[in-house]
Structure 1
Amino acid sequence: MRLTARGRAAARSVPIAVLAVLFTLVGSLPAPVAAAADGSSQAWSVQPTDKGSGTGRRLAFQLDAVPGSVIRDSVRISNLSTEPISFQVYGADAYNTPRDGGLAYRQAGEAQHDIGEWVKLRTNALVIPKRRAADIPFTITVPEDATPGTHVGGVIALDNALRGAGATDSGVDVSIQRAIAVRLELTVSGPLTPGLSVSKVRLDHAPGDAPFESGTTTVHYTVTNTGNTPVQGKAAIEVTGLFGRTVGGRTKSLPLILPGQHTELSLDTGRSPPFDFLTAKVTVSATGTPATTARVHRLALSWTTLAVVAVIAALVAVGLSQLRRRRRTLALEHA
């Protein structure tokens, strides 16, 4: 379960208020349950409607279609609390967050450009009595020109109530709306072409505080899904110094990246010399995709180390100058 918060302003009878919409993203977990953040009795769940005996319990909508087809399905919302709950229900596109690649869904007021636009529910607003459930039919109309591959979105159920989460340390009053998104994966017939690329590699070097103390390096890089199906691969990062000497490196699993999406990731690669010419190489790969590599170079410099070296060099220069002066004096005295 992953929580993704998106803030927006809300008018309330307090000096400053923030309305946070919290999404519980579902796709590989048992029936999701949202409980109110303020400790009240509000609790509810959302899941695909059971299609009957022998089909097994569905944890997400995983569908196949051809361009121009219409798919019919249903989502079940269960009110597990002891009071009625008012919901807004809608389809939404999924996307990767720009930083860290977390999976998130667009809100109801945002423009939907892909599968979120194709989904039409029989109703977008309803009130479910206590301890009751409702099945909401919906259709997915696949456009004739739909791109082959896997389109990812979700069916969202948003609790309309604003629930107070209290004031933050800065005195901001925060209200919470909770939403559950059941993942919707629709694969449009056609060739699947998975692909990943890496770009915009950047190497940050933080020198140590003391002279000649090792510093640390962090590599930042952008991964893009260039194919038409979600891909979860890995990134191998290597940092080398002069003459190819290995300074640090790690291998990190990538988040699930959706088609056409990109995200910036970063990784601490460990200690580095106080002075060196560093090269960071990032290689991303996944099953069924060719590996791609990008590099960046940077001079790693510790100013404290450089200052000490400069002082030592100055003292040596002064000493050599005095030694030469003394030798000239002695040579004149013996002349």
Structure 2
Amino acid sequence: MPTTATRRKTTVATLLRTAAAALLATSAVAGLATGPALAAEGDVAWTVRTASNSYGAARSSFSYAVNPGGRVEDAMVVANRGPVPLNLAVYAADGFTTGAGQLDLLPRDGKSVAVGAWVHADRGSVTIQPGKTAQVPFAITLPDNATPGDHVGGILTSLTQADQAEGINVDRRLGIRITLRVGGELKPNLAIEDLHVAYGGTFNPFRKGGATVTYTVHNTGNAALSGQQAVSVSGPFGSLPAKAGGIAAPPELLPGESWKVTVPVRGVAPAVWLAATTTLTPRLTDASGSTTSLKPVQATAHSWALPWMLVLVLVVLVAVLVGVLRYRRRNGARRKAREDARVRDAVEQALRGQEPRTS
């Protein structure tokens, strides 16, 4: 049985990870903004921004194109806006897309294999006096076997504080996004997987119902991609088409990531055999921020769409018709049997009337 100290340690670790993840979602968004990112929690306030140098001024994030084995040097500027000195940890981490569609970064104890492993700050922590700023240089050194394509992560500042009321440590993080495009063949590709369609009809067999189309968008290439989606449902040979409107675009997916999509389609006729078609147009963003639409990807799935009330009515009508036919057949057989019996009786009586009389 776990001791009280063990349970308390587990609770602290869990809450620390939760708080870090929540604040990191804020830092990830801030790192994409046009101005400096700000963290303010109680008496804690600091900002981070990119340094002005040969890469540019007032950049919203760090973005580089580097060949395997290459090296890049840059810097982050941290400013203390609070009334007390700050001692912040500095480290890098790999990025990933959350279930809410936002960029997040691995916790400090997470295992980074790309940006978080290739980015190294010149110090593990920085102390900043109130009203002062500090520049934190860092270098990105790519291994010779770095995988070509897009890699996303960030460089972070972190402050761990004790919450006396709860008796736990809370980790607050603020950082800037780093996007690396490693030289080599770029293979952008999105796939549509696990496509399904389910029909939901109405009690009125002559009215249109709705369908639900579900599928997974999978980034099977080596470039970060967003996309435009279109979904339609039709009957046999493309008859009675219905299109879905207002489909939200999936977030930008990093290589290897997936995103589940559910699309309702209204005005679908119960055409017995439905075909649901999903068209996905990948969109690739280059280092300059320009977006290019790639060749669309398409997939189709089928499902039954029977007007069950009409089917029930037809079944009842068929049953009644079969019953009537069987009843008429039985009545005909009875009439034939009665007629045959009458004929036999008449023949027998006639034969008896012709028998010779005896004296």
The reply on whether 1:67 has 2:72 as its aligned counterpart is no
2:347 equivalent in structure 1: none
Aligned residues of 1:48 and 1:61 also touching (Cα < 8 A): yes
Which residue is 1:225 aligned to? 219
Matches of 2:168 and 2:275 in 1, distance apart?
45
2:34 aligned residue (10, 26, 29): 29
Higher RCO (CA < 8 A, seq sep 6+):
1
- The reply on whether 1:268 has 2:264 as its aligned counterpart is yes
CA drift of 1:145 comes to 1.5
For 1:170, the equivalent position in structure 2 comes to none
In structure 1, give the amino acid aligned to 2:51: T
Amino acid at match of 1:75: M
Higher alpha-carbon Rg? 2
Equivalence for 1:121: 121
* SS of aligned partner of 1:161: strand
Q: Which runs of 5+ in 2 are unaligned?
A: 1-8, 283-291, 340-359
1:228 and 1:259 in contact (8 A); partners too: yes
Q: What residue is the counterpart of 1:157 in the other structure?
A: 157
Which whole-Å CA distance do the structure 2 matches of 1:290 and 1:271 have between them? Answer: 29
Q: CA deviation at 1:51?
A: 2.4
The letter of the residue matching 1:135 is Q
* Structure 1 letter corresponding to 2:256: G
**What is the TM-score with the length of structure 2 in the denominator?**
0.71
Give the conservation status (yes or no) of the 8 Å contact 2:69–2:144. yes
The aligned counterpart of 2:281 is 285
Relative to structure 1, the CA distance from residue 206 to residue 319 in structure 2 (aligned partners, 3 Å threshold; closer, same or farther) is: closer
CA distance in structure 2 between the aligned counterparts of 1:119 and 1:34, rounded to whole angstroms: 23
Going from structure 1 to structure 2, the CA distance change for 1:308 and 1:219 (only over 3 Å counts) comes to: closer
Q: How much is the aligned-residue C-alpha RMSD, in angstroms? A: 3.7
Are 2:91 and 1:90 aligned? yes
Q: Decide whether the 8 Å contact of 2:200 with 2:209 is kept in 1.
A: yes
Match of 1:257 in 2: 253
Structure in which a larger fraction of residues adopt helix: 2
Does the 8 Å contact 1:195/1:290 carry over to 2?
no
Contact 1:165 1:176 in 2 (8 A): no
Q: Take 2:236 and 2:255, find their aligned partners in 1: how far apart are those partners?
A: 38
Matches within 5 A, 1:193-212: 193-208=187-202, 210=203, 212=205
Shift of 1:113: 1.0
For the 8 Å contact 1:83–1:129, the answer to whether it is kept is yes
C-alpha separation in 2, matches of 1:297 and 1:100: 29
Match for residue 357 of structure 2?
none
**Partner residue of 1:49?**
51
In the TM superposition, residue 289 of structure 1 has moved relative to its aligned partner by: 3.0
Tell me the residue number matched to 1:107.
107
Identity of aligned residues (%): 28
Residues 276-322 of structure 1 show CA distances to partners (whole Å, capped at 9, x for unaligned) of 32221122223363322222112245xxx636753674366347735
Letter in 1 for 2:273: F
TM-score relative to the length of structure 1: 0.76
Give the Cα separation in 1 of the matches to 2:164 and 2:37. Answer: 22
- Cα distance in 2 for partners of 1:162, 1:47 equals 26
Is the contact between residue 213 and residue 264 of structure 2 (CA under 8 Å) also seen in structure 1? yes
In structure 2, the CA distance between the partners of 1:269 and 1:77, relative to structure 1 (3 Å rule), is farther
Structure 1: runs of 5 or more not aligned: 1-8, 167-172
> Using a 3 Å threshold, how does the CA distance of structure 1 residues 226 and 306 change in structure 2: closer, same or farther?
closer
Structure-2 separation of matches of 1:130 and 1:11: 33
Shift of 1:215: 4.0
Counterpart residue type for residue 222 of structure 1: T
Give me the whole-angstrom Cα distance separating, in 2, the residues matched to 1:44 and 1:10: 29
CA contact (8 A) 2:79 2:133 kept: yes
Corresponding position of 2:230 = 236
Shift of 1:11: 2.6
Task: Report the CA distance between 1:92 and its aligned residue.
Answer: 1.2
Q: How far off is 1:187 after superposition?
A: 2.4
For the structure 1 residues 308 and 224, does the alpha-carbon distance in structure 2 shift closer, same or farther, using more than 3 Å as the test?
A: closer
